[in-house]
Every structure is written in C-alpha cells, then in structure tokens.
Amino acid sequence: MKTLIAALAGLLAMGGMAWAESCKVVDPTGTLAVRAGPNGAIVDALGYGTVVSMSSVITLKRQTWAKIQLGKKTGWVYRNYLLCED
C-alpha cells in the first residue's frame, strides 16, 4: 500500500506543476529525514539550514509532504519543517 501511495503521489506531483520554491530546512531536531515517497522509506537526511528547491506539495492522512530537490537528488520531506521564501 505504501508503494502505491508513493507512486500516486509522484504522479500527482508531475501533473503539470512547473513551479519551484527555495526553502530552508528548519527541523527542530537538527536533521530532516528525506523519504522515497510521502511517509516512505528514509533515503537521506538534511541538516538544519540546508537550502532545497520545493516543487510540489501533497497532503496524505492530514500530513503535508513536499517534494524537494537538492542538486541531482530528489525526495519527500515533512512540509512543516521547511521555511520557504514568499
């Protein structure tokens, strides 16, 4: 089921949304988990203050997830731990 949710989230994220927003990691623990999909397996971690590019947002089970990119790496993070420029 998690694989299906991650696949659907990926499809939704690619559905014509061509925006990107610069955001800074502000996780109070100091490290933000990067996941393969919303609430998926952890594939990396980002330190406090790391700047990423956010390209889409999705809400699943009352949790908001952001698709981010840092260099050539992409993944999903908990949206509440990103501070984005207006």
CATH number at residue 52: 2.30.30.170
Cβ atoms 68, 75 nearer than 8 A: yes
Mean pLDDT value across residues 52-79: 95
For 1-13, the pLDDT digits (tens) are: 565 555 555 545 4
Give how many domains the chain has, as a whole number.
Answer: 1
Give the pLDDT of residue 11.
Answer: 47
DSSP string, 7-74: HHHHHHHHSS----EEEEE--TTSEEEEESSTT--EEEEEETT-EEEEEEEEEETTEEEEEEEETTEE
Q: Which domain holds residue 57?
A: 2-84
Cα 25 to its chain centre, rounded Å, is 11
pLDDT in tens, 12-52: 544 444 568 999 999 999 999 999 999 999 999 999 999 99
pTM for the model: 0.76
